Amino acid sequence: MTINEPFSFCFLGYHIGVHAPGVESKYDQFKCGHHVILAHAKTFEMFRNLFHGQSGYKMGIVINYDFPEPLHPDDKDDVKSVEVDALQRIGWFADPLFFGDYPEELKLVTGKHLPRFTAAEQELLKSGANHPMSIYGLNTYGGRYVSAKQPHHKHDSDDHGDHDDHGDQDVDPLHPQERFFKDGKPIGDKFIGAWLYKVPEEMLLHLRWVNQRYQPHQIYITENGCPDPGHTQYAWTVDDSYRISFFRDYLAKVAEAVEEGIPVQGYVVWSLLDNFEWADGYSRRFGLTYVDFGTQKRTPKASALWWRKLNRKLGTEIPHNFSESTMAQLFK
């Protein structure tokens, strides 16, 4: 993989400013993304030239996204806002790589502030992502709602995400509004109030959307997992039945995707160890292994033992090529 989660470090680092380098800007995130896209394309070109004709070599970029549901499925504007949200976040990076240019839905809201690709750069981009050696890396975690209705004032989406129904509001599908609550209820089990709610169906929706729009040769789920929901004490986090449930339910949706013919070739857990999590530092524990950060002692959690049992059941020797039915059975 060349670059991991450009949305995270471009949007959060050069727009909102909560991640390094801490820049707060209205449009600098698009400059960041533009250079990331070109850097990946040039790196893939070198990789392709170096290993052309040799089997087993693959390369891709990792795009993170949590696929949403329309807040009101019977509202055409909310339904449209789902597609727009995906294009403005996934398409920001994937459209140039597969099609040579940014999606119109992004151009409409950025205008002159969105950088442009030269004709030569467009050809370079398209020659990479559509090459058989290219893979699509996908990081995904939780679910959310989006709505075309614009809030009248700022709210805390952590606990009051159902505020969109309060009074008359402007409607603008080009500016999707994120919600985690509807009618006072969260969209799923809460792991991180600001963004991670368990919604296994989003995995299937995500894979379907990527496959339909880009038709990548291969998809690898390069991150999926959950932290301890509000507790980091040793006894609580080591006996992590909630994490086992999370993996089982999400893997079931991966199996559905494979049965539909979506070319998922791999699934990677986030993460092997408790670690330093972006701006959250050591306060979030995503690992299958508990780490005492003072002594560095490692203790496998219940989820690690569950994965070990699953992998042993599958066998250590896994063939390189699967039929759709065999791959689906693997994920089940």
Q: Give yes or no: 223 in active site.
A: yes
Q: Which residues make Cβ contacts (< 8 Å) with residue 122, sequence separation at least 6?
A: 96, 100, 101
Q: Give yes or no: 123 in active site.
A: no
The answer to whether 148 and 176 have CB atoms below 8 angstroms apart is yes
- Give Cα separations from 64 to 37, 94, 131, 282, 326 (angstroms): 14, 11, 21, 21, 27
- Give Cα separations from 11 to 6, 51, 117 (angstroms): 8, 33, 20
309 in helix, strand or coil?
helix
Count of other CB atoms within 10 angstroms of residue 193: 16
Residues in the chain: 332
Question: Which has the closest alpha carbon to 221: 304, 100, 106, 140?
Answer: 140
Active-site position among 5, 69, 105, 202: 5
Q: How far is 27 from 6, CA to CA, in rounded Å?
A: 15
**297-300 LR contacts (CB < 8 Å, sep 24+):** 298/273, 299/234, 299/238
Question: Which has the closest alpha carbon to 29: 97, 119, 92?
Answer: 92
Q: How far is 146 from 108, CA to CA, in rounded Å?
A: 19
Among all chains, which residue has been given the structure tokens 């089982």?
Answer: 248
The structure tokens listed for 66 are 């949590």
φ, ψ of residue 28 in degrees (nearest 5): -60, -25
Strands 181-182 and 144-147: unpaired
Active-site position among 83, 105, 121, 223: 223
Put residue 100 in one of left, alpha, beta given phi > 0 → left and psi -120 to 50 → alpha. left
Catalytic residues: 5, 223
